[in-house]
Amino acid sequence: MREVIRIATGRREQLVDVTAEVAGVVRRSGVRDGLVSVYVQGATAAMMIQENWDESVQTDVVDLLRRMIPRGVWLHDAQDGNGDAHLKAGLVGPSETIPLIDGDLGLSRWQNIFLCEFDGPRAERRLVCTVIGDR
């Protein structure tokens, strides 16, 4: 089963918790044991599994990437000013795969699924969720 989740982002760089949306896709699939792949379409966004309890972790992720890959110093910036966003997205990666256990996401208590926006705000980011497994 495949379903597309559409998410709007509000800032240039942010982590958006999409766990509930992905869990909804899994529920609708009826798959009990298997995998869900979450893939973001777009060259300036990424997916990440990260702590969900303390928002400072999400802020720290964005801050770390800003320090590692600063804005305005890359060759691609001459085209559209978002060279850093492409590099951040490439470093983090476009997808995550999560095990499904008895119909639930196999995340730990402290893990959630995040869309990483590096070139927002955007009216729409498309996450392709593919569920594979046994009902």
Q: Which phi and psi (to 5°) does residue 111 adopt?
A: -110, 140
Model pTM score: 0.96
Q: Which domains does the chain have, with CATH numbers?
A: 2-134 (2.60.120.460)
Q: In angstroms, what CA-CA distances link 66 with 72, 93, 101? A: 11, 16, 36
17-76: per-residue pLDDT in tens? Answer: 999 999 999 999 999 999 999 999 999 999 999 998 888 999 999 999 999 999 999 999
Q: What is the pLDDT of residue 79?
A: 92
Contact 57, 51 (CB under 8 A): yes
Long-range contacts of 72-76 (CB under 8 A, 24+ apart): none
Phi-psi region of 81 (alpha: psi -120 to 50; beta: other; left: phi over 0): left
**Please, which pLDDT band fits residue 92 given cuts at 50, 70 and 90?**
very high
70 cis-preceded (ω within 30 degrees of 0):
no
Please state the rounded mean pLDDT for residues 115-131.
98
